[in-house]
Structure 1
Amino acid sequence: MVLLLLVDLDPDLTALRSLGGFFVLRTVAGTAHAPAESLPTLAQTYAGAASDVHGDPITFRVRKVATALRAPEVRIAASVAHLGLTARLWSAALGCAALYGRTPDLDPRLLRWDADAAAPDDLWLTEVRPLPGDATTLADIVLHGHLEPLAATLRDRYRLAQGLLWGNAGSALAGAARELDRWARANDRTDTAARARTLTAELFTHPLLRETGTLTGTAFRRRSCCLYYRVPGGGVCGDCCFPRPPAA
């Protein structure tokens, strides 16, 4: 049994800073460098609304990734873009739950997204509303609030397979948990490590995640592939279902 001391969420979510940029979540209330109001919320993005900043944010991000990777197929870039945003959402939510014992409400209407920025300047939370840090709440926030509408959009636009998208979700969660566990052990935060492991194991019992791969401690082997091996010079990821890049 893990004994958890609940800590109030602060306006800056400062506890996330020591975990590294991929976990950090910028808050509009807690910074003097708030993004322009023209940045779209993720709710608007999932709904396909155009932005004054980058036009369609998902299309913009996919094209940006495609150019950076020299991806021969747009589907590859769409998968990698999906994996990156998914990892950011899991990292912020799981990091808060493990460190604070609570998580902020990451309702898509509260999160503004800069499709041209890298972590941690891509996501901005407009209001910190504390919620419980249990696995059910994390699933509601991330899986149902974000990943279901995001997956529906990407399947429709880029013909990405459902198994690939949920495999990305499982891989991103496992990756966030692994980094959090590594940080916690290096900083003698065994309580945080135990909390992160427990939450992750519970989340992988969810129907949307339990068939995505095999979780053993902090190690994960997915049952699908994110397509990164098709990038020029790319190989297979550490948790890929393929031991080596498939032949062309």
Structure 2
Amino acid sequence: MAASPDTDRALRLVPQLAGFGRFFDVGIGAVPAGARPWTELASDPAALAGRIDGVARRLAPVERRVAASVMFQGLTARVWSPLIGAHLCHGVLLDLTPGALHWLPAPGGAVPLHCARPVVQREAAPGAVYERGRELLEPVATALRALLPISPRVLWGNSASTVAEALGAVTAARPELAERARELGEALTERGRHAGLGTWVPGAAPANRRYQRLSCCLYHRKSGVAPCEDCVLRSR
């Protein structure tokens, strides 16, 4: 069956996703003052540099490429979380297209996202979820690498890591979804840009599995910070 769009259902389910945490929250309705098009992050180097500089000031002192990595990881969390929440809980693709999505400048932390009139696609496969996330993130990753030297393995490792974090947030609240989360996690982290960047470590139960990345987000380069729990440096 071909996927079909559903706006009314999207307007009902999107506010529910915020219950899983701030990264799942997507504003809907009239676009608020000051909101900027998502596409600007890829098309306007000054806008992207401004985001990096804001994170650098918040984390100071820190190398600029570390700030860029942390900034991109925050964006990936904001993209994957609502996509994963909608698919796991409702079996749909939250169709956040680059042209429909806005972001709001914020001094630090999670960048607020807004979609005036969201749509969900019914009968959506996990591959469609991956492609929607990739479509949003890949142009930003390309623009970021044009600004400063940073490995694509770092950027896409960050992305895969936030997939795992989003899955964990949902299953912590909805443990009955653990098996579906396992299947979705493998589908998203073993595909495309994420392929080969990490592995799932078995636990006592499906919900206890954790993602072990084969790269590093660089945040440990800030003085006094230890490598993250899923960092390749810990496994070594």
Q: Kindly report which structure 2 residues correspond to 1:89-168, keeping only aligned pairs within 5 A, or say none.
A: 89-116=79-106, 122-132=112-122, 133-143=124-134, 145-168=135-158
Q: Does residue 198 of the first structure (1) align with residue 195 of the second (2)?
A: no
Match of 1:235 in 2: 226
Q: Kindly report which structure 2 residues correspond to 1:11-26, keeping only aligned pairs within 5 A, or say none.
A: 11=12, 13-26=14-27
Q: Give the TM-score normalised by structure 2.
A: 0.86
What is the aligned counterpart of 2:32 among 13, 32, 35?
35
CA offsets 1:76-103 (integer angstroms, 9 cap, x no match): 0000000011011000100111112112
Q: How far apart in 1 are the matches of 2:117 and 2:137?
A: 21
Match of 1:53 in 2: none
Q: Kindly report which structure 2 residues correspond to 1:166-245, keeping only aligned pairs within 5 A, or say none.
A: 166-185=156-175, 190=176, 192-216=177-201, 217=206, 218-243=209-234
How many Å apart are 1:12 and its aligned residue? Answer: 6.2
Unpaired runs of at least 5, structure 2: 1-5
- Relative distance call for 1:110 and 1:157 in structure 2 (3 A) is same
How many Å apart are 1:39 and its aligned residue? Answer: 2.3
Match of 1:48 in 2: 44
- Relative distance call for 1:155 and 1:234 in structure 2 (3 A) is same
Name the SS for the 1:214 alignment partner. Answer: strand
**CA RMSD after TM alignment:** 2.3
How many Å apart are 1:74 and its aligned residue? Answer: 0.4
CA contact (8 A) 1:25 1:120 kept: no
CA contact (8 A) 2:74 2:109 kept: no
Unpaired runs of at least 5, structure 1: 1-5, 50-55
How many Å apart are 1:47 and its aligned residue? Answer: 1.2
Name the SS for the 1:10 alignment partner. Answer: helix
CA contact (8 A) 2:11 2:117 kept: no
Q: How far apart in 2 are the matches of 1:75 and 1:119?
A: 17
In the alignment of these two chains, the number of paired residues is 223
Q: Which amino acid aligns with 2:189?
A: F
CA contact (8 A) 1:111 1:124 kept: yes
Q: How far apart in 2 are the matches of 1:201 and 1:114?
A: 31
CA offsets 1:201-243 (integer angstroms, 9 cap, x no match): 1112213212110123530111111110111221110100002
Comparing 226-235 with 77-86, which one deviates more in the overlay?
A: 226-235
CA offsets 1:13-40 (integer angstroms, 9 cap, x no match): 12212212121111125xxxx411x522
Q: Which amino acid aligns with 1:15?
A: Q
Q: How far apart in 1 are the matches of 2:28 and 2:223?
A: 37
Greater helix percent: which structure?
2
Stretches of 4+ aligned residues off by more than 4 angstroms: 117-121
How many Å apart are 1:117 and its aligned residue? Answer: 5.6
- Relative distance call for 1:103 and 1:71 in structure 2 (3 A) is farther
- Relative distance call for 1:104 and 1:118 in structure 2 (3 A) is farther
- Relative distance call for 1:86 and 1:121 in structure 2 (3 A) is closer
